[in-house]
Amino acid sequence: MAKIDFGGVIEEVVTREEFPLSKAREVLSNEVVAVIGYGVQGPAQALNMKENGVNVIVGQAPEFKADWDKAVRDGFVPGETLFNVEEAAQKGTIIQYLVSDAAQRALWPKIKPHLTTGKALYFSHGFSITYKEQTGVVPPDDIDVILCAPKGSGTSVRRNFLAGAGINSSFSVFRDHTGKALERILALGIAIGSGYLFPTTFEKEVFSDLTGERGVLMGALAGIMDAQYKVLRDNGHSPSEAFNETVEELTQSLIRLVDEKGMDWMYANCSATAQRGALDWRPRFMEATLPVFTELYDRVRSGEECSRVLESTGSSNYKELLDAELAELGNSELWRTGAAVRKLRPENK
């Protein structure tokens, strides 16, 4: 592993230089990787591995026709490289369990009988193992249990792979029965196209992931946008002006500078007025939101957020309720304005 200085803290990471694709192919040469679930992460990881020369099959319930048909369109052949869930699990030596967290609990009785001695069970989220008391996902003792969690959506994992880049991923070995668990997971991490791999635990992965999704990555970001847009609109600003100052400038300009050079560089290269205001107001927002993030992390660690996920997604009318919530978000003035603004971008004309 390479030793990297992250802000004064030395961490060990695995790069493509230390673990090249040729080595990953060698490690996986006698493996059959069964990707269970062709919904969110499944397509990206399956296609990336397939194009990197790994022997990949897909397990997908045929009754979920849209996902089954997508796998066929992507080149997986029914009866050859595309099977129902149980048959794929039986054939695979490494089973990538990439269905949703709720579906992992529901499908577990069908998967567990096929976890025979020496196989590996792979996750991209620590949820089911960390909250095993609630999910019931308890693997047998005579298999490897491993994790590689890309720090991005399946869409980004695939898009970055095709662009020749990669999404950074965390990795973990929960159980090493064969003595090969570490090289197995590093090979898989490289094969799915990771930019670099950094170590974690199943527990730390799920705690950070659930906090991040509910916080800066999605929940907090959307909530802050809602609040600023409302204040601007309540004070007489037009939808276009409020949206551009709240979302468009962030996504089309500033966040790209942060990505390229960092927040400090972006601060140093904006106007003096913006710079002064950002420096003055940053501590105020930190102070205001820190208690919310502390409460959020405590709920994740206690399992309350797990209970919320399993209870809500397990209800018979969840899809109907979810569609209503998403429609409310999409039909808000903020995001209807966003749709209009995107159509005005030169590349969309």
As annotated, the active-site residues are 125
Q: Check if the beta carbon of residue 99 is closer than 8 Å to that of residue 38.
A: no
Classify burial at 273, counting beta carbons within 10 Å of its beta carbon; exposed 0-12, middle 13-18, buried 19 or more: exposed
Name, in order, each residue with C-beta under 8 angstroms of 176's C-beta and a sequence gap of 6 or more.
144, 182
What does each C-alpha distance from 339 to 56, 98, 281, 344 come to in angstroms?
Answer: 38, 31, 30, 9
Strand partners, 57: 34
Query: At a CB cut-off of 8 Å and minimum separation 6, what does 295 contact?
Result: none
Contact call for residues 205 and 199 (beta carbons, < 8 A): no
Q: Give the amino acid at 33.
A: V
Cα–Cα dist 195/204, whole Å: 20
108 SS3 class? helix
- Distance from C-alpha of 225 to C-alpha of 176, rounded to nearest angstrom: 45
What does the block give as tokens for 234?
Answer: 């309540």
Q: Environment class of residue 284 by beta-carbon count within 10 Å: exposed (0-12), middle (13-18) or buried (19+)?
A: exposed
Which among 39, 82, 87 is positioned nearest to 64, based on CA atoms?
39
Distance, in Å, from the CA atom of 217 to the CA atom of 152, rounded to the nearest integer, reads 10
d(CA 329, CA 217): 16
Quickly tell me which residue has 């089973």 as its tokens: 95
Q: What tokens were used for 327?
A: 């429609």
